[in-house]
Amino acid sequence: MKIREIVDAINAKVLVAGDDGLDMEVHSACASDMMSDVLAFVKEQAVLVTGLVNPQVVRTAEMMDMKCIIFARGKTPDKATIELAKSKGIVVMVTPLRMYTVCGELYAKGLHGGEDNVG
């Protein structure tokens, strides 16, 4: 799935797109407001769905080689967080939908969670 398809699927507003960011292919996603869970359990993810709006989200996404951050529940990151994402080449978008709804919409469109390695 291309990131631009996600924008339409969840009625999102793109804050950071980069040169070809919306044309990047993604194959899986995860959702969490706890970045420690993302670091501990996420493998080979491409999209992060969260309601947490601080620079740590961008740093976590960068460490996990994620291509896109979706801020749910209408939450909007501050300018510093947006600038950090831009400098790291990470697509950022905001949606008014709740995290559960975002996940359902993305799953229905074929974007899955990857391996289930929860232990």
Domains of the chain: 3-108 (3.40.1390.20)
Assign 115 a pLDDT band (cuts: 50, 70, 90).
low
Tokens at 85, concatenated: 């994402």
Give the mean model confidence (pLDDT) for residues 79-94.
96
Give the three-class secondary structure for 48: strand
pLDDT in tens, 29-57: 999 999 999 988 777 668 999 999 999 99
Quick one: pLDDT at residue 116?
56
Please give the Cα distance from 17 to 90 (Å, whole number). Answer: 8
Q: Which of 37-41, 63-67, 90-94 has the highest mean pLDDT?
A: 90-94
Quote the Cα angle for 73-25-28, to 5°: 55
Please give the mean pLDDT across all residues of the chain.
91
Environment class of residue 54 by beta-carbon count within 10 Å: exposed (0-12), middle (13-18) or buried (19+)?
Answer: middle
Beta bridge partners of 2: 25
